[in-house]
């Protein structure tokens, strides 16, 4: 945890009650899913398809600058929405209840270099289960960045800003390679042979995506192949930058907290919700921001309810915010520029050896803190028996 959490420490009873209220909110929302949500996701899917066709067609007239600009913009938007509002959400199983096999979380394949299978493992399972737990959540720095003082400093982190910039430009490629955990080659935890074997399906997807954007469409454009290549490249770059920015604002803002691995021991449902809340941050904005960010502007709600359709997060956030206020928990939200500037600050600050040694990680877990807090209605004897 950071040195001063803005959230009040809660007793175990309060944590249970907190979790129960959020469970009730989830249950109520899930029971109300129907035509509205189905129509919405079909609308998103159709928007992705039409903008892709319009963008790619426009690029075939791309020798004329207005067509190149329009084509690149449309294709960039198409890829962003396909990756975020459609793909990421569908793969979380948010629309499994529709029984439409083309929108099934376990089989959906998305338009980016990262394989859906790897994403489901590293993101849905690892990142969402071990959110912001140091040593478990690989998304804390992706193996190349140092973003929190508790992470051990190494000389390579002096290149933080450069690494971050490269990450932003190549984000879809680095996400594709994330499951390989290449930094383990440096620490010798992994062998090159292992990595090479795991790379096989990743390479297949990379080849497919590369062929689509840089071989197939340029070929069918005939003499117009050059603006198609440059347009596709630019559209991919636009998507990389945008997804990088939104994702980095999710867990690396100033007030975002990380946790020691001990926090996972006997973590109750309420404690899980608290960790998701304290490790995530939102972005304030209108419907356009919510749509274009794949509703990751509601990172808190997404982390509390990953399998609830994202288009419900805005409405749920009103209740979530109210619950957090009553329990004295900080609800981390702010405008994009403000939130992103604190992320940039982290990238620069922790390139340098500012660190915080954690003496007793167990003392910092939510359980331990709860044990020290006296709830209003129980005796001290009951509390100390849990502290062991």
Partner 1 sequence: MSALNPVIGRFLGSVKEDWVDFMLAHIDPMLTVKRVLARVVAIHDETSDIKRFVLKPNKHWQGFQAGQYVSVKVMIDGSFNERCYSLVNSPTDQVLELGIKRQPKGKVSNWMHDNLSVGDVIELGDVGGEFVLPAVLPSKMLLIAGGSGVTPIYSILAEALKRQANLDVAVVYYVNTDKDLAFADDMVQLAVKHPSLKLHYVLASSGEAGRFSQQQLANVCADYAERDTYLCGPQGLMGAVAKVWAEQGISNKLTQEVFGLPAVDPNKPVSEMPITLRRSQQLLLNTKPTLLESAEAAGARPVYGCRIGMCKTCSCTKVSGVVRDVITGAIDDQPNTQIRICVTEALSPVTLDI
What number of residues does the chain have?
388
Angle at CA 29, nearest 5°, toward 27 and 35?
130
CA distance 217 to 198: 29
Number of residues that bind partner 1 (CB under 8 A): 38
Q: What backbone phi and psi angles, to 5 degrees, belong to 136? A: -115, -40
Q: Which of 105, 115, 94 is nearest to 40 (CA)?
A: 94
Any contact of residue 375 with partner 1 (CB under 8 A)?
no
Q: What backbone phi and psi angles, to 5 degrees, belong to 306? A: -65, -25
Any contact of residue 121 with partner 1 (CB under 8 A)?
yes
The contact mask relative to partner 1 for 77-96 (x = CB under 8 A, - = no) is ---------------xx--x
Any contact of residue 156 with partner 1 (CB under 8 A)?
no
Contacting residues for 237 by C-beta, under 8 A, at least 6 apart: 169
- Pick the closer one to partner 1 by CB: 41 or 80: 41
The contact mask relative to partner 1 for 257-286 (x = CB under 8 A, - = no) is ------------x--x--------------
Q: Give the number of other CB atoms < 10 A from CB of residue 297.
A: 29
Any contact of residue 39 with partner 1 (CB under 8 A)?
yes
- Pick the closer one to partner 1 by CB: 35 or 188: 35
- Pick the closer one to partner 1 by CB: 9 or 100: 100
Shortest CB 98 distance to partner 1, Å: 5
Any contact of residue 144 with partner 1 (CB under 8 A)?
no
Any contact of residue 30 with partner 1 (CB under 8 A)?
yes
CA distance 364 to 277: 16
Q: Give the number of other CB atoms < 10 A from CB of residue 224.
A: 17
Any contact of residue 124 with partner 1 (CB under 8 A)?
yes
Shortest CB 86 distance to partner 1, Å: 12
Contacting residues for 164 by C-beta, under 8 A, at least 6 apart: 145, 347
The site for partner 1 (CB under 8 A) is made up of: 23, 26-27, 30-31, 33-39, 46, 49, 92-93, 96-102, 104-106, 109, 120-121, 124-125, 128-129, 208, 269, 272, 306-307
């Amino acid at each position: 945890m950071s040195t001063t959490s803005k959230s009040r420490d809660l007793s175990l009873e309060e944590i249970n009650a907190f979790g129960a209220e959020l469970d009730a909110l989830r249950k109520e929302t899930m029971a109300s899913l129907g035509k509205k949500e189905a129509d919405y996701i079909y609308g998103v899917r159709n928007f992705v398809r039409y903008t892709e066709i319009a963008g790619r067609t426009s690029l075939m007239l791309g020798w004329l600058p207005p067509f190149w600009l329009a084509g690149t913009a449309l294709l960039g938007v198409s890829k962003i929405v396909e990756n975020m509002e459609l793909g990421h959400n569908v793969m979380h199983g948010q629309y499994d209840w529709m029984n439409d096999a083309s929108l099934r979380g376990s089989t959906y394949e998305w338009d980016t270099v990262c394989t859906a299978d790897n994403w489901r493992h590293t993101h849905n399972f690892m990142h969402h289960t071990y959110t912001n737990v140091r040593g478990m959540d690989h998304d804390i720095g992706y193996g190349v960045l140092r973003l929190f003082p508790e992470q051990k400093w190494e000389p390579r982190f002096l290149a933080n800003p450069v690494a971050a910039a490269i990450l932003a430009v190549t984000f879809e490629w680095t996400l594709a390679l994330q499951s390989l955990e290449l930094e383990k080659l440096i620490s010798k935890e992994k062998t090159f042979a292992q990595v090479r074997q795991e790379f096989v399906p990743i390479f297949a997807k990379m080849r497919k995506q590369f062929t689509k954007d840089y071989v197939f469409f340029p070929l069918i454009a005939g003499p117009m192949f050059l603006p198609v290549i440059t347009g596709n490249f630019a559209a991919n770059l636009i998507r990389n930058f945008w997804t990088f920015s939104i994702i980095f604002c999710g867990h690396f803002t100033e007030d975002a907290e990380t946790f020691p691995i001990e926090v996972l021991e006997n973590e109750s449902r309420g404690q899980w919700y608290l960790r998701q809340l304290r490790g995530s941050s939102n972005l304030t904005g209108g419907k356009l921001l919510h749509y274009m960010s794949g509703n990751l502007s509601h990172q808190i709600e997404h982390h509390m309810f990953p399998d609830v359709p994202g288009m419900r997060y805005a409405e749920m956030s009103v209740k979530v915010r109210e619950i957090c206020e009553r329990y004295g928990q900080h609800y981390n939200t702010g405008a994009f520029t403000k939130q992103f500037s604190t992320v940039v600050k982290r990238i620069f600050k922790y390139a340098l050896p500012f660190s915080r040694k954690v003496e007793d990680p167990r003392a910092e877990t939510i359980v331990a803190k709860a044990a020290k807090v006296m709830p209003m209605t129980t005796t001290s004897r009951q509390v100390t028996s849990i502290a062991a």
